[in-house]
Amino acid sequence: MTAGPAVVSAGSERSSPEGAVSAEVAAGTVPGSAPGRGRLRHGRPKAGPGARLRPLIYLLPAAAVLVPLFGYPIYMLGLLSVFDYRQAQVSGGEPTRFIGFGNYATLFSDDRFWSILGQTVVFALALVIATLAVGATLAVVLTRAGRWPGLLLSVAAMAAWAAPAMTGSTVWMFLFDADLGLVNQVLGIDGFNWFYDKWITFGVIGATVVWHSFPLVMVTLYAGIQAIPSSVREAASLDGASEWQSFWRIIVPMLRPLITIVVIQSIIWDFKIFTQIYVMTNGGGIALQNSVLNVYAYQTAFGSSEYGLGSAIGVVMTLILLVVTLFYIRALYRTGERL
């Protein structure tokens, strides 16, 4: 009695296309199906060639602008660095001579280049540490300040951020003027020259750079702190953690991706600093004692008319910053994965 309905059911199943597919899947005769499995496996569809090329298509407008804007100057910089290109060649008095890596050999054998390179690295690292310390401190202060104090702090930071480097450097230079400077008047010092000693000059310039740079760090870290759920900090407080412990063991680890990004950005900006030093020291200070690589390249190319050698310094700086930029892109990629 039970065989009849079973036979009818099997026959009706095979008499329809759906039944035939079900029977083939169950039997394992459909390509890619496993025997004994009665249903198709629904996986994520693979992206076709068009979907893979779509992000590149979206980047084409930006690439059409950025590649000529940056590609041609970099090409010319590299081209000039392999020629003996001086004022005589600029004026057409002498033919241009191809010297290959001669400018680089001259550069790497120059003790002044290595001294200025080390000076640039140390100064940039000091600026990064100071900028991060000031920006992070003020970000925490901003989270705890009242409405009006927080508003005043934000306006002051935005004003410093919006000020052009040339304008800010000139203002700071007048503040530390030996005769009419406000700093000497407040301290009761007559005629003290803040731009004579090498390290004092670097300190004044560093303060100017930090004043320009800390608002970005402050705003970025403030936004990161505000994004942390209040329940996390409340739980830490209930567990007996002090404010200091809560900051270092909870807030800082959660802000690590943002801290990494602002640190690498600061390294890129501070390594290629030019305006503040050139304006406040009148081109690098006494005997170029306050020179960094950017100023040194400018003085070599336009001060000594050794354009090929100055271009070689620019190429070395570009390669160093390219390595730092790769770390920056890697940090951005990792931050995107965590988000």
Higher pLDDT, 19 or 162: 162
Contact partners, residue 245, CB within 8 Å, separation at least 6: 236
Dihedral sign (CA 289, 294, 77, 90): negative
Q: Which domains does the chain have, with CATH numbers?
A: 112-338 (1.10.3720.10)
Q: Is 239 helix (H, G, I), strand (E, B) or coil?
A: coil
Q: How far apart are CA 159 and CA 270, in angstroms?
A: 20
Give the residues across from 86 on adjacent strands.
306
pLDDT digits (tens, 9 = 90+) for 41-50: 445 555 556 6
Highest mean pLDDT of the ranges 41-55, 127-141, 316-330: 127-141
Higher pLDDT, 160 or 245: 160
Write down the pLDDT at residue 120: 95
Q: Are 327 and 264 contacting, i.e. CB atoms less than 8 angstroms apart?
A: yes
Output the average pLDDT for the chain.
Answer: 82
- State both tokens at 11: 């026959």
pLDDT at 19 over 50: no
**3-class SS string, 8-50:** HHHHHHHHCHHHHHHHHHHHCCCCCCCCCCCCCCCCCCCCCHH
Residues 121-136: what's their mean pLDDT?
95
Q: Of 234, 228, 222, whose CA–CA distance to 254 is shortest? A: 228
CA 45, chain centre distance (Å): 36
Q: How many CB atoms lie within 10 A of CB 316?
A: 18
DSSP one-letter string for 81-129: TTEE-BHHHHTTSS--EE-TTHHHHHHHT-HHHHHHHHHHHHHHHHHHH
Give the confidence band of 283 by pLDDT, cuts at 50, 70, 90: confident
Residues 280-303: what's their mean pLDDT?
90
